[in-house]
Structure 1
Amino acid sequence: MARADKATIDAGTTAEVLMDRAGRAVARAAIRLMGGRYGKRALVVCGKGNNGGDGFVAARVLRAEGVGVDCVVMFDPAEAGGAAAHHLDLMRRAGVHPDRFELGKWEPRYGYDVAVDAIFGTGFQGTVEEGSDIAHVFEILDYLPVVAADIPSGVDGTTGAVRGEAVRADVTVAMQAQKTGTALAPGSDRAGHVEVVDIGVDLSDVTAASASLVEASDVARWLPHREPSAHKKSAGWVVVLAGSEAMRGAALLTCRGAMRMGAGYVTLATTPSVRDAATSVLPELLCERASDEDVLGPEALDRIGDLLDRADALAIGPGLGRGEAQSRLIERVMREVDLPLVVDADALNALEGRSDLIGERGRRRYPGDGRGASLAGVTVLTPHPAELARLLGTTSQEVVGDRLSAAVAAARMGAVVVAKGHRSIVVDHGDAEASIVPVGGPELATAGTGDVLTGAIAARLAAGTWGTGAALVATYVHGVAGELAAGTHGGEGVLAGDVAEALPVAVERLRAGLTSER
């Protein structure tokens, strides 16, 4: 974004003009949040730099609109430079005089109707320590409706990370484009409603955003749709290779996810005990005994070879268990199966330190001979943060601190990656473009919802949707289904099976355009 700002300024639009437009947009948002102008009072808190300059403009405009304004600065005003210094001077001429914040010497007057947060900008990557002057200001802002200029102070503009304290805004006014830090958790939780405003920055030379926010219209073309002449096989055949004596439910939930996402056939290839349980729970499910033992090992692939020849996609991992036999099975599947593949749970853990296997499949998808991508060799990995950390050989804390970079790094091994979490991230290794899915909430934080997602992705792959499209539409529909289930059962009472049952309803709501992104 900084390059786009510079290009716009080089083309003849001054920094002072851009700052004026930004500050006016913030002032308008503050007036809307207050519900009017007259008799209202605003507190504008400004830092050093362009973000503070936006605040100076907002304070001046609010004053001109009849709002009572107090402006507090977190630095010596004599240190202001560039466009910010220009607008500080204009603010003073308009009758708003900045008050330097000093801990113990400054407290806000009561009766503010809104606060403007213009302290830190999108380049902030530091830590606001508890007990610091800045943290004290954040505590004051907690008691007021807040409009943030571009990004809530304390949020990392690139990753969304919050190290220490951060402002919790009601509205964030994003200049020209939403910043990644307000699209990814936990920054998204601090941003409130994000309002993108056009201030005239030329984005034509921006080759690609670091990430894009997925909207319902983006996934509409990949929603399940059956022609009148459709039959079971044309709707896609999913094989689920999963389950063990101790974790039967994971395999069954994966199958339910595939069924409810529109697969025509779903076959569970599993152990004897899971097979016996499955036939009584899901009568629509086809079952294949892939082992004589209660553990699936490498020989399972030989037993289901004919089945895989007829199938359209394979999901592997949920409830598989961890051990040498399972690891050898995963290695064989990665090397010998050309079907589109969804890898989850214990199968992901078996890939720890095996980026070579992921890369081999990736090269089958992008052979480098000019033919382009194909569904053969498509691998979709669906890790939660701990699994993603194991794939990358790092810690969960590192992954959570920068989920976007972690997802991109994993995708570059040779796969489509769905980095699960609040606002899941989907990345394709073919172009390393990241998409953030803004639906689904804490109701999905319950055992088994990831298994349902695995089945849903496999169903879309089986129907012929290309890898990233399958991952995007399934993840989006899964998020909407979670919200629908929460509406029926309450957020804390949602079970994974409830999410599976809500998948078809979510599809219909998306098709009818009845959803709204948060």
Structure 2
Amino acid sequence: MIPILTPTEMAAVDSAAPEPFEVLVHRAGFAVASAALRLLGGSYGRRVVVVAGPGNNGQDGRVAAQMLRRSGVRVTVLEQSPDLKSLPSCDLVIDAGYGTGFHGTHHCFSSDSPVLAVDICSGLNGLTGEISGSVAPAVETVSFAALKPGLLFGDGPEVSGRVHVADIGLDVSAASMHLVTDSDLRGWVPKRELRAHKWSHAVWLIAGSPGMSGAAELAATAALRGGAGYLRLSTPGGTSPTMPIEAVGYPLNAESWASEVVMQAERFQVVAVGPGLGRSEGTRVQVRELVAELNRPVVLDGDALWALGLQAGQLLKQRRSPTIITPHDGEFEQLMGHRPGADRIAAARELAAATGAVVLLKGQATVVTQTGSGCLVVRSGDSRLATAGTGDVLTGLIASHLALGADPLRAAASAAQLHGRASMLGPERGLLASDIAGLLAEAWNQCEAEQPR
């Protein structure tokens, strides 16, 4: 995991550092100069313009300028100013104008040269990733000690380029937020024990409705590909499923099924509810009854979240077993009465506090959090995931990781990471949700192969 610190948290870490300020600036400047030389491909004959602001970022930029000069680079240092419109011709611009503490409207300089950002692009909100005014998009950003939320959310990923976290000796061990990486998966999702049998990792999926079988089939396939040993698929009022053929169909009465699930769920490690379930009043009643009475871990998505609505907090906080909910922005609004704000980490934490559940808030960067358990951010996928059915795949995958024995918070985060990783194995155009389900095993094998032995 890679630590993430808000601007306020980063300021506190800076203040608590035992090293003198000058030492930290020297280390930061060295990291910036090293990145610059790498981007330049050498120093001989190279020209660099450093735009330096009045704060710590400006100091880092000035130190980097001194080091680059000693390496033979021709460096011009310009003071950050609203009047700075255009820059001299150069091979690289170092944006050391403003950092994560900037407030106001930024007026960006104009340059056709590649830009290296110091900690964060000037004018980019360090907490939300919103642009205030204008920014100079960077080809690379050197972030000190930890990632900042603004690099991961909003416009941040589009304007920050490749992000490199430079260790300058600050203690970030108390960080409560982390970016998930592929290397985390192996340690988070247990392997099947040698004595395992199909019921050791069993999932009951309640999904689909008459004429809406696709969501159920996607979630079921993902659960099986993710490691579920036994998958029972029930569509209330529907016929037995035809796909995937490995799923075991089990009929449920359309109007009264919650009590039967409660009575028979003991053999299952997890019950997943919601994909394509429909939005009838009967569905609302049955989902609420199931949530209230079932003493098994549950994953709730799609229409199950609609069924809970604004009563989600009251219903879920009474549960004794783990609950994972996976809303997108519209479903978040159904549960909370308002859409998430620009600070998506705060939004996810708000929902977690209101419901007592593990919350997976879907988005460009997915946030997974639980009150008292920190926050995990996932950015393994891209816009390929913006297609119908990918959320159903994620639901089944989360259920499988939970059934394999993963901690609920990590089950959700590891599933999101693998989900995104699988999508990146598919084509940039024309990727279907069913393709992602089919690529899950390959993605997992790749992650395992990349782990140090």
How much does 1:164 deviate? Answer: 4.7
**SS of match in other structure, 1:439:** coil
Match of 2:368 in 1: 426
Match of 2:101 in 1: 123
Provide the alpha-carbon RMSD of the alignment. 2.1
Q: Which residue of 484, 502, 508 maps to 2:445?
A: 508
Cα distance, 1:46–1:472 mapped onto 2, change above 3 Å: same
Alignment check: 8 A CA contact 2:235 2:252 kept: yes
Q: Deviations over 1:388-420 (max 9, x none)?
A: 233222225x2xx11111111111220111111
Q: Distance in 2 between matches of 1:222 and 1:15?
A: 38
Q: Which residue of 439, 449, 463 maps to 2:404?
A: 463
Alignment of 1:18-417 (within 5 A): 18-75=24-81, 102=83, 107-110=86-89, 112-124=90-102, 126-128=104-106, 134-135=107-108, 137=109, 140-141=110-111, 143-201=112-170, 203=171, 208-223=174-189, 225-234=191-200, 236-273=201-238, 275-276=239-240, 278-279=241-242, 281-291=243-253, 296-297=254-255, 299-354=256-311, 355-361=313-319, 364=320, 377-396=321-340, 398=341, 401-412=342-353, 413-417=355-359
How much does 1:317 deviate? Answer: 0.9
Q: Distance in 1 between matches of 2:156 and 2:269?
A: 39
Paired residues, number: 441
Alignment check: 8 A CA contact 1:62 1:69 kept: yes
Q: Percent identity?
A: 41
**SS of match in other structure, 2:51:** strand
Q: Distance in 2 between matches of 1:155 and 1:246?
A: 46
How much does 1:349 deviate? Answer: 1.9
Q: Distance in 2 between matches of 1:441 and 1:189?
A: 11
Any stretches of 5+ residues in structure 2 without a counterpart? 1-9
State TM-score, norm by structure 2.
0.91
Q: Distance in 2 between matches of 1:340 and 1:244?
A: 23
Letter in 2 for 1:422: Q
**SS of match in other structure, 1:147:** strand
Flag the structure with more relative contact order, 1 or 2, with Cα contacts below 8 A and sequence separation at least 6: 2
Alignment check: 8 A CA contact 2:224 2:400 kept: yes
Match of 1:453 in 2: 394
Alignment check: 8 A CA contact 1:223 1:511 kept: no
Alignment check: 8 A CA contact 1:175 1:198 kept: yes
Alignment check: 8 A CA contact 2:329 2:361 kept: yes
Q: Distance in 1 between matches of 2:450 and 2:116?
A: 29
Q: Deviations over 1:52-88 (max 9, x none)?
A: 221222222222322122222224xxxxxxxxxxxxx
Q: Distance in 1 between matches of 2:407 and 2:322?
A: 8
Q: Distance in 1 between matches of 2:344 and 2:335?
A: 13
How much does 1:514 deviate? Answer: 6.8
How much does 1:343 deviate? Answer: 0.5
How much does 1:250 deviate? Answer: 0.9
Q: Distance in 2 between matches of 1:433 and 1:126?
A: 30
Q: Distance in 1 between matches of 2:348 and 2:183?
A: 24
Q: Distance in 1 between matches of 2:144 and 2:135?
A: 20
Cα distance, 1:360–1:305 mapped onto 2, change above 3 Å: closer
Alignment check: 8 A CA contact 2:145 2:167 kept: yes
Q: Distance in 1 between matches of 2:266 and 2:441?
A: 28
State TM-score, norm by structure 1.
0.80
Cα distance, 1:102–1:302 mapped onto 2, change above 3 Å: closer
**SS of match in other structure, 1:436:** strand
Alignment check: 8 A CA contact 1:183 1:213 kept: no
**SS of match in other structure, 1:162:** coil
Letter in 2 for 1:74: Q
How much does 1:457 deviate? Answer: 0.8
Match of 2:433 in 1: 496
Cα distance, 1:323–1:125 mapped onto 2, change above 3 Å: farther
How much does 1:469 deviate? Answer: 2.2
1:444 correspondence with 2:385: yes
Q: Deviations over 1:206-243 (max 9, x none)?
A: 66324111122222123362344332112x11111121
Q: Distance in 1 between matches of 2:373 and 2:259?
A: 35
Any stretches of 5+ residues in structure 1 without a counterpart? 76-100, 129-133, 365-376
Q: Distance in 2 between matches of 1:305 and 1:330?
A: 11
Q: Distance in 2 between matches of 1:433 and 1:29?
A: 31
Alignment check: 8 A CA contact 2:189 2:411 kept: no
**SS of match in other structure, 2:250:** strand
Alignment check: 8 A CA contact 1:237 1:312 kept: yes
